[in-house]
Amino acid sequence: MPTGSNNKKKYTYVWVSAIILVFGIFAVYEITKRVKSGTVVENDRMSMAAGQNKVGFVVNQGKKRKVPEFQFLNQDSTLVTNEDYLGKVYVVEFFFTTCPTICPIMTQNLVELQNTFKDNEEFGVASFTINPRYDTPSVLKRYAEKYGVTDKDWHFLTGNQEKIYELAQEGFYILANEDEEAPGGFEHSGMFALIDKNGYIRSREDQYGNPLIYYRGTITEKQGVNADGEAQQITILKEDIKKLLAE
């Protein structure tokens, strides 16, 4: 091959490499800038999550996980069981009324869900207190009124503490413990579980097909992202509730 042709190809390769290098440097700069500003966490993660359409089943040892049987008193001193939720899509949380940290935000997020689905009789919420010695039905009723709870299918549930902890830890694998060193005297998770009309625990799947299992309940849509760079998941929870309601 003639020498001129070789030189021409060499210059072409050099030019292409230079373009790639320049664009690569620019891309790294933009990503670094967005990471520092927090927008890469908020926007990119939410975009990835929103791109997933399937709300799958949560599986344990090859079996679809279902809500265990339970029966507790609600804020009206009415006995409520897991069967009362059959035919409804509902969200489960574990909280306590004197919680000084995450519970008020969790309740605000659940009120947001209540207001979003206020016209749908197939939506509900189950809020289990992890401090039943203090959170009697009357205390729970005042708490519900304070936060503007109007959904007749939102039950604040209290009863035997051991059974509530068993439901949390063995039924949902959600943290719930009495801990004198924790704020308010109790340690618990700020996650929400999503249950379908047949009582199965459901979850959005990530880009790899793995279930998220729970939804972050301690960050509001307005806040978007917290100080640790974690994005709010109330938006995707709303989307997934709509999908399950349509099933």
What's the pLDDT at 22? Answer: 34
Distance (Å, whole) CA 42 – CA 164? 34
What's the pLDDT at 143? Answer: 98
Reading the chain (247 residues) residue by residue, the pLDDT tens digits are 444 444 444 444 444 343 333 333 333 333 333 333 333 333 333 333 444 578 999 998 899 999 999 999 999 999 999 999 999 999 999 999 999 999 999 999 999 999 999 999 999 999 999 999 999 999 999 999 999 999 999 999 999 999 999 999 999 999 999 999 999 999 999 999 999 999 999 999 888 888 899 999 999 999 999 999 999 999 999 999 999 999 9
Distance (Å, whole) CA 144 – CA 153? 12
What's the pLDDT at 19? Answer: 35
Interstrand relation of 79-81 and 71-73 (parallel, antiparallel or unpaired):
antiparallel
- Interval 56-75: pLDDT, tens: 999 988 999 999 999 999 99
Kindly report the three-state secondary structure assignment for every residue of the chain: CCHHHHHHHHHHHHHHHHHHHHHHHHHHHHHHHHHHHCHHHHHHHHHHHHCCCCEEECEECCEECECCCCEEECCCCCEEEHHHHCCCEEEEEEECCCCCCCHHHHHHHHHHHHHHCCCCCCEEEEEEECCCCCCCHHHHHHHHHHCCCCCCCEEEEECCHHHHHHHHHHHCCCCEEECCCCHHHEEECCEEEEECCCCEEEEEECCCCCECCCEECCCCCCCCECCCCCECCHHHHHHHHHHHHCC
Distance (Å, whole) CA 41 – CA 149? 32
pTM: 0.79
